[in-house]
Structures are given as C-alpha cells and as structure tokens.
C-alpha cells in the first residue's frame, strides 16, 4: 500500500515547475494576456520539449502513455504558474477521446501530431458536461454537424476539434472546416481561451470505434480532474504569495504576518486546501486503476476543490490588502484562473447532484 508520489513523479513535477519559472514568469503571462495571445507558443514549445503534449498519448503513436496522476501533477504546476498554454483539451481530453473511440486512421492522423506538440486540439463538450445555455447544442446528421457549442476549450487556433453532439456522440472536425465559425469569448481569465463554435452543415468524422459513452465519460472525468489539479496549484501559489507578502508588509511597526488575524487566515487556507491534494491524487489514480470509482471521485474532486479554491482566492487577496486588488501586483491572474476553473465542465452544485445520482441518492437528469 502506497498512497504517494513516486520519485519519478516528484522529478517530473519539479522539472515542470523549474521550466515554467524560467519560461513563463508573470511578465510573460501578462504579455500574453494583454496582447490576447490565444496561447504562449514559446511556453508551449518549452513544455513540448519535456514531452507534456504527448503524456497521455499511447506509445504506439509517439506518446509517453503516462497516467492521469502524472497529468494532474503537470496541471497543478500549470495552475501554479498561471501558464497560458492549451493543456486541458490538447494534451488531456482530446487524446483520451481519440485514443478511446477513434478508428485506426483517426488515431494515426492526429495522435502523433498531438504528441509532438505540432497540432493543437480543441474540445467542445460544455453542453454535455455542464448543461446547455441559451439553447446551444450540436446535431449530427449524415456526417454533418449543425448548431452551436459554447465555451469550447483550447479551440481558438485548434487544428482539430473534438465535438460532442446532443445525442452523446463525439466527432472530429478540422479546425479550418467549411461552414465552421469561431467566435472568441473573452472571459475574466486571459490565460486561457474560450470559444463559441457555430456549425453550418460542417463535415465531421464520428469517433465511433470504441465505446462512445464510456469514452465521453472518461474525457469529461479527466477534464474535471485537471481543473481540480489546476485549482490546487493556483490556490497554493496564492497561499505562498500571501504568506510572503505578509512577511514583508509592515503596519503598526510590525510585519502583518505576526498578527494572529492574518496568520489564522493563512492557516485556514492551508488547512482547507491541503486535503484537496489527496482527493485529486485519488481521483486521478481511480481514473486509471479503479474505473468504478472514477466518475464519483472526479465529480467530488472538482466540486470540492472549486469551493475551497474560491475561499483561498478571496482570502489570499484580502491578505494582500489593497495591493491584491491592483493590476500592478498581478495576483488577479491567479484569482481569475480559479474563477474560470470553477465554472467549466460542471459547477460544484451540478457535480454534487451528479455525485448523488451516481450513488442512487438522486434521480439522474
């Protein structure tokens, strides 16, 4: 029995952390955000050199075939650095969908390119994972897609899109397909992109080789665990920043870190967030090793980490006082990243309802 990280996993996490500190400091993040770059290509290629895009791609297609826990460790570090890169869809959800339900030809067409970092993949799955807003939804008929999907992930400059239709089917659509329109949705979080995809009889290639329902669930579960891990890393960065700031800021001739009111805020944040690490690890491990628990744990990990994340984002900002509220300090990038994580792929309320339904305690929607 061992519930912890292997030496390789600790090394992986340290190497991602070190690389991001070098290539994606706050100035780089700020530049990407202010210029509305869809992603920081230089940061992504530095991560590609470490094999990040191919982490979950099968070895047969040029990837590293690692576990979802490995990916969660990377997601945590990306959150910590508020890195503006297309990770969740490109490196996690799309490879899982294509490897799970793609034909041999579909896998050969896309997985090697995704593994090398050559191609970017978007995922349009919000209606199925969080519920449809404004009547959005995509209908598939005769190999063509119509309708619209909101809040697509990593989709702005994607070479290929994984699209969920209203009936639960998954499809591959080329990024430059005829009849496809992309509308940028600007969110509070400028480190990641959200896109509205409009389909007017767009040619699509169904992902129907494997168990489509199971692949859909795995894709969503993996995305949820990544968002939870992202919030874990983002939240711990905020706690560390709050502790460091409180250790420097003086009022009443004392560093404010010596006031119990401030210390207790920091202790509460740490004490709420640290157990989330164990929940995220367990949910990620369940994805690969205990499939019967995977959906429940992914839902709980995402919902609970989102609730704690909101508390940490608010409290860490308060510890920074007025400075936390300024653009100058840049703390708001972390605050907003936690804010976006919370809303994507199912709100805490929705996820708790799903978790209850999975255990037979509520009617499934």
Partner 1 sequence: MDLAYGPEYEGFRAEVRDFIAKNKDKAPKRFGVARPSEESIAWQKLLIEHGYAARTIPTEYGGYGAEPDILKSRIIAEEFTRAKLPMGLANQGISMLVPTLLELGTEEQKKKWIEPTLKGEVVWCQGYSEPGSGSDLASLQTKAREDGDDFIINGQKIWTSTAHAADMIFCLVRTEPDKPKHEGISYLIFSMKTPGIEVRPLTTMTGHAEFNEVFFTDVRVPQKDIVAGRGQGWFVANATLKHERGMLGDPNQAGTRLKEIVDLMHEETVDGARLIDNPVYRDRLMQLQARVFAMQFHGLRLLTAASKGEDPGIARLIVKLQGCEINHQLAALAIDALGEIGVLYGDSPHLRAHGSWQHRYMFDLGLIIGGGTAQIQKNIISERGLGMPREPKPAKA
CB of 355 to partner 1, least distance (A): 6
Site track for partner 1 across 29-68, x = CB under 8 A: --------------------------------------x-
Q: Which long-range contacts (CB under 8 A, 24 or more apart) does 276-279 make?
A: 276/228, 276/231, 276/232, 276/235, 276/301, 276/304, 276/305, 276/308, 277/232, 278/3, 279/228, 279/304, 279/305
Q: Is 245 an interacting residue with respect to partner 1 (CB under 8 A)? A: no
- Cβ burial, residue 311 (10 Å; 0-12/13-18/19+): middle
Q: Which 261-320 positions form the footprint of partner 1 (CB under 8 A)?
A: 262-264, 266-268, 270-272, 274-279, 281-282, 285, 289-290, 297, 300-301, 303-304, 307
> How far from the centroid of its chain's Cα atoms is residue 78's Cα?
9
> Using CA atoms, how far apart are residues 243 and 263, in angstroms rounded to an integer?
8
Q: Which stretch binds partner 1 (CB under 8 A): 165-173, 190-198, 209-217, 257-265?
A: 257-265
CB of 321 to partner 1, least distance (A): 16
| From 123, 126, 257, 313, residue interacting with partner 1 (rule: CB under 8 A) | 257
Q: Is 251 an interacting residue with respect to partner 1 (CB under 8 A)? A: no
Distances (CA, A) of 277 to 45, 47, 235, 246, 351: 28, 23, 11, 24, 18
> Using CA atoms, how far apart are residues 64 and 44, in angstroms rounded to an integer?
17
What does the block give as tokens for 263?
């210390």
Q: Which stretch binds partner 1 (CB under 8 A): 76-84, 118-126, 310-318, 348-356?
A: 348-356
| From 33, 43, 46, 69, residue interacting with partner 1 (rule: CB under 8 A) | 69
> Using CA atoms, how far apart are residues 283 and 91, in angstroms rounded to an integer?
18
Q: Is 1 an interacting residue with respect to partner 1 (CB under 8 A)? A: yes
Nearer to partner 1, 33 or 316 (CB): 316
Nearer to partner 1, 207 or 319 (CB): 319
Q: Is 74 an interacting residue with respect to partner 1 (CB under 8 A)? A: no
Nearer to partner 1, 39 or 285 (CB): 285
Nearer to partner 1, 47 or 297 (CB): 297
Nearer to partner 1, 138 or 239 (CB): 239
Q: Find all residues with CB under 8 Å of 104, minimum gap 6, and list them.
A: 209
Three-state DSSP at 203 gives strand
* Residue whose structure tokens are 């367990």: 282
Measuring CA to CA, which residue among 123, 114, 110, 179 is closest to residue 149?
Answer: 123
Q: Please, are residues 67 and 9 in contact by the beta-carbon 8 Å criterion?
A: no
- Cβ burial, residue 217 (10 Å; 0-12/13-18/19+): middle
| From 23, 41, 50, 255, residue interacting with partner 1 (rule: CB under 8 A) | 255
| From 166, 185, 249, 259, residue interacting with partner 1 (rule: CB under 8 A) | 259
Site track for partner 1 across 168-197, x = CB under 8 A: ------------------------------
Q: Which 124-143 positions form the footprint of partner 1 (CB under 8 A)?
A: none
Question: Alpha-carbon Rg of the chain, whole angstroms?
Answer: 20
CB of 278 to partner 1, least distance (A): 4
Three-state DSSP at 199 gives strand
Q: Please, are residues 309 and 348 in contact by the beta-carbon 8 Å criterion?
A: no
Nearer to partner 1, 159 or 307 (CB): 307
> Using CA atoms, how far apart are residues 207 and 96, in angstroms rounded to an integer?
11
Phi, psi of 141, deg, nearest 5: -155, 125
Site size toward partner 1, by CB under 8 A = 51
Q: Is 361 an interacting residue with respect to partner 1 (CB under 8 A)? A: yes
Nearer to partner 1, 147 or 348 (CB): 348
**Binding region for partner 1 (CB under 8 A):** 1-6, 67, 69, 239, 243, 246-247, 254-255, 257-260, 262-264, 266-268, 270-272, 274-279, 281-282, 285, 289-290, 297, 300-301, 303-304, 307, 349, 352-353, 355-356, 361-362
């Amino acid at each position: 029995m061992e519930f912890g990280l292997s030496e390789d996993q600790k090394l992986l996490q340290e190497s991602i952390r070190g690389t991001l500190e070098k290539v994606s400091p706050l100035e780089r993040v700020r530049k990407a955000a202010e210029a509305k770059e869809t992603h920081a290509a230089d940061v992504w290629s530095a991560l590609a050199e470490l094999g990040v895009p191919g982490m979950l791609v099968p070895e047969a297609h040029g990837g590293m075939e690692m576990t979802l826990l490995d990916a969660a460790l990377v997601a945590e570090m990306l959150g910590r650095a508020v890195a503006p890169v297309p990770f969740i869809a490109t490196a996690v959800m799309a490879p899982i969908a294509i490897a799970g339900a793609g034909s041999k030809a579909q896998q050969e067409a896309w997985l090697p390119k995704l593994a090398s970092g050559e191609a970017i993949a978007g995922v349009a799955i919000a209606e199925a994972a969080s519920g449809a807003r404004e009547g959005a939804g995509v209908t598939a008929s005769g190999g063509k897609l119509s309708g619209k999907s909101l809040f697509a992930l990593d989709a702005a400059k994607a070479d290929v899109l994984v699209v969920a239709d209203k009936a639960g089917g998954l499809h591959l659509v080329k990024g430059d397909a005829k009849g496809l329109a992309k509308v940028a949705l600007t969110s509070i979080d400028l480190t990641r992109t959200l896109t509205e995809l409009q389909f007017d009889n767009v040619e699509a290639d169904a992902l129907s080789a494997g168990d489509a329902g199971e692949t859909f669930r795995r894709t969503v579960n993996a995305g949820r665990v990544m968002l939870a891990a992202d919030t874990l890393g983002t939240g711990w960065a905020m706690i560390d920043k709050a502790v460091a700031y409180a250790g420097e800021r003086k009022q009443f001739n004392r560093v404010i870190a010596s006031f119990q009111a401030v210390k207790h805020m920091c202790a509460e944040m740490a004490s709420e967030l640290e157990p989330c690490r164990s929940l995220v690890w367990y949910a990620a491990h369940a994805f690969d090793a205990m499939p019967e628990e995977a959906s429940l744990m992914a839902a709980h990990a995402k919902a609970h980490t989102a609730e704690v994340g909101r508390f940490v984002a608010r409290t860490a900002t308060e510890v920074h006082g007025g400075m936390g509220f300024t653009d100058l300090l840049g703390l708001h990038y972390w605050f907003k990243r936690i804010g976006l994580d919370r809303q994507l792929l199912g709100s805490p309320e929705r996820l708790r309802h799903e978790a209850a339904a999975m255990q037979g305690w509520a009617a499934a929607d």
